[in-house]
Amino acid sequence: MIFNKDTAEKTAELLLQINAIKLNPENPFTWASGWKSPIYCDNRLILSFPSIRNYVRDEFAKNIEKQFGKPDVIAGVATGAIGVGILVAESLGLPFVYVRPEPKKHGRQNQVEGFLQKGQNVVVVEDLISTGKSSLLAVEALRNEGANIKGMAAVFTYGFGVAEENFKEANVDLFTLSNYENLLDLAVQKQYITEDQQSTLQEWSVSPSTWGQE
């Protein structure tokens, strides 16, 4: 679910402007999973544009506090959300931790890096939601450390049905700055894509795992 419509449209426009999101239905990208996709999203680019990263920081900080209440800790999911997570934590004056995909193989073998006490309220910051599996593994790691997860805030989601199911099953509320639906509407309005291309992009979102495999 998006925080609000205005933020969703503005965020989508900014991501398109800096090519953090690329739309190419005629020459689809291939994801690491093997899926063919007419969209590629790299929200790490946000950090390279000061005015845009400040906008993302401010929208996260304002909407996280409004939606979840002020947490005790902000947690970023490694590696894509570490940078923006730190910005949000700094804006809110809160401690920050980050979560590795898996525990370190050496030393203290941490998966959650930073100081976290049992029972603390945590909001997790993520850059991108596809199926939600890796994001929810981070939630699981935090819960294993005794954290109380208030919810997750992400820059962008593809809005897959499987992601909605995964978050519901994990009992995690997800809110995003923008999503696929608002992105496509904005992309047509600003002439990044045609209406025919929009139809192709909408078809992909219905069955992304099989799209383009014929």
Token pair belonging to 71: 């947490």
18 phi, psi to nearest 5 deg: -95, 10
- The verdict on whether residue 104 carries a ligand-binding annotation is yes
Token pair belonging to 24: 């190419």
- The verdict on whether residue 205 carries a ligand-binding annotation is no
- The verdict on whether residue 126 carries a ligand-binding annotation is yes
Looking up tokens 């402007």 gives 17
Look up residue 62 and give its DSSP letter.
H
Token pair belonging to 73: 């800790």
- The verdict on whether residue 134 carries a ligand-binding annotation is yes
- The verdict on whether residue 18 carries a ligand-binding annotation is no
Token pair belonging to 192: 């990044």
- The verdict on whether residue 133 carries a ligand-binding annotation is yes
Query: Residue 116 and residue 126: Cα distance in Å, rounded?
Result: 18
Other Cβ atoms closer than 10 A to 137: 17
Q: Give the up-direction half-sphere exposure of residue 8: CA atoms within 13 A in the CB hemisphere.
A: 18
Could you tell me which residues come within 8 angstroms of residue 4 by beta carbon, excluding any fewer than 6 positions away? 63
- The verdict on whether residue 130 carries a ligand-binding annotation is yes
* CA-based nearest residue to 136, from 160, 104, 110, 101: 101
- The verdict on whether residue 129 carries a ligand-binding annotation is yes
Annotated binding site for orotate: 130
Annotated binding site for 5-phospho-alpha-D-ribose 1-diphosphate: 100, 104, 106, 126-134
Annotated binding site: 100, 104, 106, 126-134
